[in-house]
A and B are shown apart, each in its own frame.
Chain A
Amino acid sequence: MVGIDEFFKGQHTGKQPSKARATGTSRKRKEQPVNSASNPINLEDSEDEHTLEAKKPSNQLKAGVSVEIVDEEPQPRKRQRATAPAPKAKASSPKKSPKSKIQSAEAGTAEALLSQIPSVDLDAVHVKETAQFDFRSNGNAGDSSQAAAEEANFPEGAPNCLLGLTIVFTGQLPTIERGVAEAIAKRYGARVTKSISSKTSVVVLGDEAGPKKLEKIKQLKIKAIDEDGFKQLVAGMPEEGGDGSAAEKARQKLKQQEEKAQKDAAEMIKVEEEQREKARRVQSKANTADKREPVREEDKLWTVKYAPTSLQHICGNKTSVNKLKTWLSNWRTYQKQGFKNAGRDGFGVFRAAMVYGPPGIGKTTAAHLAAKELGYDILERNASDVRSKSLLNAGVKNALDNTSVVGFFKSKHDGDVNQKNFVIIMDEVDGMSGGDRGGVGQMAQFCRKSSMPMILICNERNSPKMRPFDRVCLDIQFRRPDPTSIKARLMTVAVREKFQLDPNIIDKLVEATRGDIRQLINLLSTISTTTKKIGHENAQEIAKAWEKNIALKPFDIAHKLFDGRIYSDVGSKSFPLYKKIELYFDDFDFAPLMIQENYLQTRPSVLKPGQSHLAAVADAAESISQGDLVERKIRSSEQLWSLLPFHAIMSSVRPASKVAGQMAGRINFTSWLGQNSKMGKYYRLLQEIQYHTRLSTSTDKLGLRMDYMPTMKKRLLDPLVERGNDAVPEVIQTMDDYYLSKEDWDSIMEFMIGSDKTDLQIKKIPTAVKSGFTRKYNSMVHPVAIYKTGSTTAVGAKPAATPDFEDIVDADDNVPPADEDEESKEDTDFKKDKLIKQGKPKVASKRAGSTAKKSAAAKKRKTK
């Protein structure tokens, strides 16, 4: 512990004025409330009335501590009492515990202690203005070492000393971070809420508290204390929250919880015993036939052991579970109505349900339990099965119309209708990947016509892969359960496993695992092997180690970055800049693209006064544009990867911050990739066309596209539209002039955009003309501009032989025919050659004999 003396010396600003106040006038008292030097203190007389008003006794406080509000007159006396313990502690011992005992002896209840702590003068509190946001100071928020130091600086209280108190922290506390203060309060059993209500027992006020909150405090007449007051409170309160009624209540509640956990555990043990007994009996009946020992309870994974056994046991998501159950139980009714009648809840048209949500919150369990409770047999397929289109057809399709064999035999005894039926559970639908070709589409198809209920389960409902399931499935979302609903279950587990678990830290663990119950139980299981206790000492550490370090998907990144709340002053404290940058780093290829795709789709909540949506969008667009320059530096030859954080700001965080708010629709996947590859395709086509036309034109690719193509289209398409078959020879002539193939013709048509789009015009051409055109074109021989000569090696400075030069042909005619060996070699050569059509021996033979060489070649061909 840091020396108490020092600690108290450190807060002289808080103490001394209060002493002074004890003797001084009421005006002097006003100087004390906030101990920060930077805090302007309002000394104006007119403020006096407000001060008094705030201190009037309140009868409105219902729950918890009815804070005793002190009147103007008796105050000096009480002050003396309040300040008394401090010097005493100083004198008696530097150790905390004796001191707190002394204090608790003096003030047994929270009410009494609170009344000793000076109230804060509400009007003197520096109200937050639209202050410049200083990201540096907030950047420190998550600095754990600092937080730890702050915590160490804090006086230690008795365990659970704040039990039963509801505390609200507001504004910036002078020496400790708000988050830390909240953690401290929670540690001592207090309930920490964000907003002030009539149930609030005490407000800890800091600098720059929101004006609304101050008003509320005044209105509800709640005791407001400052940081020092809070310290005193913690230090002064006796163990288990003293003897106050609220503390008593809270204690009882805790006790109840514990008892319930114990009861549950006992019950569980009982059930287990029964089961074991049963199993033993069955085994003895079946006797030696089955020697296999059942898995011992102790050997089971905790997650299996403590898996919910009925729908009631599922933590949280009650409505979703009910929705699933209702749908499944009414499924036969829906079927009888032919899935035409939507019904009041709109479930009636769905043959399939899609359960989705993050992992570890009981989706699969819920599906199984729902089926089991309603007596359905289960056919499950998950990612461990190959689920391609053909295999689904082979495996699942047959099942769709069948009834269960198990159910058939069972139903003889029970007569349960559902027994004959089964439900198909398709787990991990979004895990369908490359190997499962066509699986998703096929599955969606099944969803449309299945005569058995289907439950599909996935994590990512929003991903484009899941689009086929839109409107074919009943969407049931599972959310992360909140800590309170998990608490009871975890406590049961802890009791059952004889494991000490402090209920107050469950919140922390839940937060660390992001509501993943499965992981929580795994976590407990792991820790139980090493220590037998999770308390405050190791909670932090454990939480840190188990913090889910999952990279978010691009959709989630965009969703989070566009959330307007994280850019408010409050939000940016809990989600500071570095965390926003971390979002970008979760997928730094996609994050900027997703931001760019969706930044026009938000309803901004962060607009400055007078700023239009359009202006905000323009700012965002400009930032994105600047971000692109950074990206170029990173990805080009310079490879300045250290600029990535800068790119994060420019391309993602900053633009998102300009337009953040609510999303106006679903988050779209980036279209840039698709457009880019489309552009690539068109550039390849253009290159091809340019190569072909190059002999006749003199322009480059872009000139060809921008200048030639509109006119070319007029030459190539319009005659066909206007004159039909008559124009075919003319069009073909034009194509030959430019060495265009039929494919080029098609691609030139594709290039036209806007009102000149050719689709409609092409549709207008009668089919007869079109096919006539194709036939005519194919029946003719066309000049080809390009042919491949194989490799570069053979060709020297002299260009490769030119087939189309008359003069050279003449010169070559004098060359004596090459001998047979060479001929045969060449023969194989031109088989590969595109230019030489082997399929026309007739023509070749007719013309054979013009020169010796040519005839030799022709003969060769004839012999084949």
Chain B
Amino acid sequence: MTSIFYKDEVLLREFNTNWKAQLTGKMSLWVDKYRPKSLDALTHTPRLTHLLKSLSVEPRDLPHLLFYGPNGAGKKTRCMALLQSIFGSGVYKLKIDVRQFTTPSNRKLELNVVSSPYHLEITPSDMGNNDRIVIQELLKEVAQMEQVDFQTASGAETGGLAHRYKCVIINEADSLTRDAQAALRRTMEKYSRNIRFIMLCESMSSMIAPIKSRCLLVRTPAPTTQETADALVKVGGQEKVTVEDEAILNTIAESCDGNLRKALLTFESMALNNEMCLKSSTALIRADWVVVILKMANRILKDRSVSSLVECRATLYDLLAHCIPAKVIIQELAFALLDAIHNDNHKIAVVQWASVFDERLRLGNKPIYHLEGFIARVMCEVDG
């Protein structure tokens, strides 16, 4: 049944060259081009790397893992590096296929599943509230299937038993609904012979306790400013970027709050804009939406009036429509305001209202209401 995909040789060639390119690291964006592919290549947090290495030594009893840590800290990279050390570079031969599910209300849903021969990667939160179905149907189906160990040759290097189980990576595990998490807990135990879960999430607060207790919790901390800068130097060296002053790298690292991905992308943007030459005076490039938020913060402080609020609403709608999450907006906005305000009382007020409305954002339905409320309150406070 595998044969149908080999019919068109042209395509096959195309794919093969592409895969070769990918495996030899000719991706265009630096962040993907220089992504560490093995445990040895990982840069920051050596303690964690050590832990992962020790896990890969005894792959037969790999526990369920729960990686948690901020965005851009390298959760996925570490997870893939671990899999690579267990299964070999086959794990990087990814493909996507679309799976269809039917909800009880007879709606057809589609989920894209990324997979290699050794693992599956799903993002159940793509399905919104129907993520439980994914967990129940897809995972059970995978979990109930005994993995056929037909490649004994490659099994030799990993002890011959590594293929017995299949790894399932669950992205954005913190946005799994409670139902889905509940559906997951028994599967994790019952089929642990056939399946291992690696869950990735930013915060563990929304994970239910039974899940946490079944996993080995792996905290993936964000790299320090120095570690980020070091990574930038490494990439810069390979891409032949002239960095006249290391200070600029620190500035980038600091502006990215330990998000290495963001740092690398910013670094690349800046390098592209300045003909591969960074001076200490080079202007920091911020993402489009950050610029918009900064401008809005200035407007709020400068022109505290109802008409200004009307314009802020338009900006907010623009941001929200272009997929900037409300919680990011309120956070960026609050920090931008804090930077621009000098009166301590006002600062306290901003923090207070930001926290009030941040909570409401989570409890409510329509983000624009709360963002607008926040801005109105801040205007009032600053007005005195």
Is A799's CB under 8 angstroms from B383's CB? no
Q: With A and B bound together, what is the CA distance between A803 and B289 in angstroms?
A: 39
Q: Which size bracket describes the interface of B in this complex?
A: 35 or more
Cross-chain contact B15 with A700 (CB below 8 angstroms):
no
Chain A, residues 783-802, CB within 8 Å of chain B (1/0): the string is 10111110110111111111
Residue of B nearest to A678 (CB): B321
* A interface footprint on B103-128 (CB within 8 Å = 1, 0 otherwise): 00000000010111100100100100
Residue in A622, A627, A678, A783 with the greatest tally of chain B CB atoms within 10 Å:
A622
**Is residue A706 contacting chain B, with contact meaning CB distance below 8 A?**
yes
Give B83 Cβ to nearest chain A Cβ, in Å: 13
Chain A proximity of B24: nearest CB distance (Å): 12
Q: How far is the CA of A700 from the CA of B380 in the complex (A)?
A: 37
> For residues 12 through 66 of chain B, which have their beta carbon under 8 Å from a beta carbon of chain A?
12, 14-16, 18-19, 21-22, 26-29, 31-32, 35
B2 in complex: contacting residue of A678, A733, A801, CB < 8 Å: A801
Contact of A694 among B96, B116, B328, B373 (CB under 8 A): B96
A700 to B93, CA, bound (A): 19
Q: Is A70 located at the chain interface by the 8 A CB criterion?
A: no
**Chain A residue nearest to B273 in the complex (CB):** A714
Residues A781 and B14 in contact in the complex (CB < 8 Å), given A628-B360, A679-B323: yes
Beta-carbon contact of A696 and B376 below 8 Å: no
Contact A710 B148 (CB under 8 A): no
Say if the beta carbon of B210 comes within 8 Å of chain A: no
* B contact residues around A847 at 8 Å (CB): 9-10
> CB-nearest residue of chain B relative to A687?
B126
- The one of A621, A635, A835, A854 in contact with B372, judged by C-beta atoms closer than 8 angstroms, is A621
* A737 CA / B295 CA spacing, docked (Å): 34
Q: Beyond A694-B112, A714-B273, is A614–B373 a contact (Cβ under 8 Å)?
A: no
Within 8 A of B (CB), among A685-714: 686-687, 691, 694-703, 705-712, 714
* Bound form: Cα–Cα A701–B194 in Å: 30
Closest to B8 in A: A836
Q: Smallest distance from the beta carbon of B123 to chain A beta carbons, Å? A: 7
Question: Can you name the residue of chain B whose Cβ is closest to the Cβ of A622?
Answer: B373
Q: Is A682's CB under 8 angstroms from B323's CB?
A: yes
Number of A-B residue pairs, CB cutoff 8 Å, is 301
Question: A467 CB to closest chain B CB, in angstroms?
Answer: 20
Which of B138-146, B215-223, B276-284 interfaces with chain A? B138-146
Cβ of B156 within 8 Å of any chain A Cβ, yes or no, is no
Q: Does B379 contact A (CB under 8 A)?
A: yes
Annotate A827-864 by CB proximity to B: 1 below 8 A, 0 otherwise: 00110010111001001100100100110010000000
Q: A694-B96, A707-B259 are in contact. Are A754 and B289 (CB under 8 A)?
A: yes
In the complex, the chain A residue whose C-beta lies closest to that of B22 is A696
- Contact A707 B262, beta carbon cutoff 8 Å: yes
A359→B14 CA distance, assembly (Å): 69
B212 to chain A, nearest CB (A): 21
Do A631 and B365 touch across chains, with their CB atoms under 8 A apart?
A: yes
Shortest Cβ distance from B285 into A: residue: A710
Cβ of A626 under 8 Å from chain B: yes
Whether a CB of chain A sits under 8 angstroms from the CB of B313 is yes
Q: How far is the CA of A694 from the CA of B113 in the complex (A)?
A: 10
Q: Does B357 contact A (CB under 8 A)?
A: yes
* C-alpha spacing A625/B142, complex, angstroms: 44
Residue B166 lies at the interface, judged by CB distance under 8 Å to chain A: yes
- The verdict on A711 contacting B96 (CB below 8 Å), with A818-B3, A836-B8, A837-B8 known, is no
Say whether A804 contacts B7, CB under 8 Å.
no
A275–B28 alpha-carbon span in the complex (Å): 92
Whether B93 and A682, one on each chain, are in contact in the complex, defined by CB atoms closer than 8 angstroms, is no
Kindly list chain A residues whose C-beta atoms are within 8 Å of the C-beta of B309. Answer: 600, 614, 617
B324 engages A705 (CB within 8 Å): yes
User: Which residue from A618, A718, A799, A836 sits with its C-beta under 8 Å from B117?
Assistant: A799
How near does chain B come to A393, taking the closest CB pair, in angstroms?
Answer: 37
Q: Which residues of B contact A826 (CB under 8 A)?
A: 3-4
Q: Is B208 an interface residue (CB 8 A)?
A: no
B residues less than 8 Å from A789 (CB atoms): 97-99
How distant is the Cα of A840 from the Cα of B144 in the complex, in angstroms? 42
- Taken together as a complex, chains A and B put the C-alpha atoms of A267 and B139 apart, in Å, by 89
A755 to B22, CA, bound (A): 34
- Contact yes or no, A804 B268, CB < 8 A: no
Instruction: For B98, give its contact among A752, A787, A807 (CB under 8 Å).
Output: A787
B100 & A624 in contact (Cβ 8 Å cutoff): no
Judged by a CB distance under 8 angstroms, whether B237 is at the interface is: no
Interchain CB contact under 8 A, A799 and B97? yes
Closest CB of chain B to A721's CB: distance in Å? 12
Binds B, one of A173-181, A448-456, A532-540, A808-816: A808-816
Given A613-B306, A618-B376, A847-B9, A800–B97 Cβ distance below 8 Å?
A: yes
Alpha-carbon distance A792/B171, docked complex (angstroms): 21
Bound: A613/B376 CA distance, A: 11
Task: Give the docked Cα–Cα distance between A629 and B357 (Å).
Answer: 11
Nearest 7 pairs of A and B residues by beta carbon: A797-B145, A801-B2, A803-B5, A756-B288, A754-B292, A804-B15, A618-B376
Question: What are 5 residue pairs bridging A and B, where the CB atoms are less than 8 Å apart in the complex?
Answer: A707-B72, A712-B29, A792-B138, A809-B12, A836-B8
Given contacts A600-B313, A714-B269, A755-B288, 16 further A-B contacts (CB under 8 A): A596-B369, A614-B380, A615-B383, A618-B376, A625-B360, A632-B364, A672-B366, A699-B71, A707-B265, A737-B27, A737-B29, A797-B145, A799-B116, A803-B6, A818-B3, A833-B4
